Amino acid sequence: MPEGHTVHRLAGALTELFSGLRPKITSPQGRFAQGAAKLDGQVALPAEAWGKHFFMPFAPEPMTVELGEDGPDWLHVHLGLYGSWSFDGDTEFIAEDTIGAPRRKIGEQEKLAEGDDERVMTDWEPPIPRDTVRIRLAQEHGIADLTGPNQCRVLDGSGVRTVLNRLGPDPLRNYPGDRERFISLVRKRRVPVGQLVLDQAVTAGPGNIYRADCLFRVGINPLRPGNRVSEARLGLLWDDLVSAMNEGKRDGIILTNPPEYVPEDPADEDDRRFAVYHRTGRACWRCGTKIVESDMAGRRLFWCPGCQR
């Protein structure tokens, strides 16, 4: 499942590519036909993300709105495990600060779509959509196709607020008071802190990689109950989530292995990119103990039993 930084990057990309325009909106698959018809022809306004949830408002005319405000029709997307956005277009269809060149697929990972190359597209034409495309946004210079989402629907402002009210603070938003709210939400629970970091009602956005490596970076054992982790250590965990996820949002890739631990000649990408994630049985960078793996609430959990307390 894409982690929160990816959804924030998608919001930036779709804003750059469609905001202020009246995109042609269709549902080649047919499952979103009614919603597509409602949005088609309206002005796309700047998209936003909260955790792993994507929201893009549409209105009859350009306007400035806050997330969850009444008035616009809100496209709400949650990618889930298998959802992804694919982009295709000519040389003017570029989101400079987010996805770069066109013909890019963003879901669990960011990558060029199959069959893509570096050619300059001078006579671009929209590709025929696959029958799995839930929604297509099209403008003169390019298209964005959504496939396989867990949720794709149109909400009013009240519906958006209902979703937001179920979510915890987002480290990529990091509003005043979010750090304290995160600490309070964790310390109220006897559930293992490793499980709480993935609870989107506690903190919205982190996935398995950030969970594993940020807990390692601040030295917290993921099995420790939330109410037995000090406020000071939880504050450090929040700060590290904010830092690590902002780096992922900026770079478009998760690199959570601290620079001082990156080997000169890494055995593979896992050794280069991660601290404990996917490093089962390998030596801890910090203390040399073997990294262990177990199951926690149906998700793979990685940690060092030697130095995470």
Final residue in a domain of this structure, among 164, 189, 221:
164
The full DSSP string for 186-254 is: HHT--SBHHHHHT-TTTSSS--HHHHHHHHHHHT--TTSBGGGS-HHHHHHHHHHHHHHHHHHHHHSS-
| Ranges of residues in the chain whose predicted pLDDT is under 70 | 96-122
- Are the C-beta atoms of residues 291 and 249 closer than 8 Å to each other? no
Q: Which of 31, 153, 161, 299 is catalytic?
A: 299
Select which of 2, 23, 149, 171 is catalytic. 2
β-sheet bridge partners, residue 144: 87, 137
Residue range of the domain that includes 122: 4-164
Residue 20 domain-assigned? Answer: yes
Task: Tell which residue, 50, 69, 49, has the closest CA to residue 58.
Answer: 69
What is the number of domains present in the chain?
A: 2
Looking at 9, 52, 179, 249, which residue is catalytic? Answer: 52
- What is the predicted pLDDT for the residue at 95? 81
Active site residue 3: yes
Domain termination residue (choose one: 120, 148, 164) = 164
* Helix spans in 32-109 (H): 33-39
Annotation marks residue 180 as catalytic: no
Q: Does 308 map to a domain?
A: no
Q: What is the CATH number of the domain that holds 91?
A: 3.20.190.10
Q: Do 112 and 189 share a structural domain?
A: no
Q: Is residue 156 located within the same domain as residue 13?
A: yes
Residue for token digits 């009246």?
22
- 68 and 152 belong to one structural domain: yes
Structural domain contains residue 309: no
For 193-213, write each residue's pLDDT tens digit. 999 999 999 999 999 999 999
Burial class (CB in 10 A: 0-12, 13-18, 19+), 105: buried
Q: Rounded to two decimals, what is the model's pTM?
A: 0.92
Per-residue model confidence (pLDDT) at position 105:
61
Q: What is the pLDDT of residue 246?
A: 98
Q: Which of 164, 185, 216 is the last residue of a domain?
A: 164
Active site residue 299: yes
